[in-house]
Amino acid sequence: MKAETQAVLLERMMQNKKIHPEFELCFPLFLVEKKTLKRLSVGDVFLLGLDTLESILIEHKGIHNVSRYAKLAFIENNSRQEVEITSIKNMVLNPFNNSEYEEVKCVFSKIDVQLFDVGSRLRLEDELFESVEIFNINSDITAEGKLIEVNDEIAIEVTKVHT
């Protein structure tokens, strides 16, 4: 009985342990007026000013908020969505200090990355871009949304607001 219990505990421990680092797949960070974030409601739209889908990977490390940051290029490969890492930087994520604006991060998903080098390709799930979580830079979730198109540009429509 004791060996069986140890095996079950070991199995749970291994399921919770990440083998590869976890990254957030998101849009490039952008600024929003603080008063706009406070008055955010369902149906509001963030116009991002992007005519093509741009995204980045961010890996958070430790207490100093040092992150690895990768720019990505989208590749259509036999009807599968893939992204290729085009550049990698180390950066410090500091909250934007301004009384009027707040930096916002829109996250599609958290993905495990086995190989994090320039030129590495990652396969993306088809339903990955169906929903977006909207965070302030302190990682407080503000809202959830979905991608829409407005005048041939990519935008996010708010579907749920968190208080």
**Can you give the pTM of this predicted structure?**
0.69
Q: What is the residue extent of each domain of the chain?
A: 20-161
Q: How far apart are CA 128 and CA 124, in angstroms?
A: 7
Q: Residue 92 has what pLDDT?
A: 67
Contact 121, 114 (CB under 8 A): no
Chunked into runs of 10 residues, the chain (163 residues) has average pLDDT values of 70 66 78 85 86 73 60 74 80 68 82 77 73 76 86 88 82
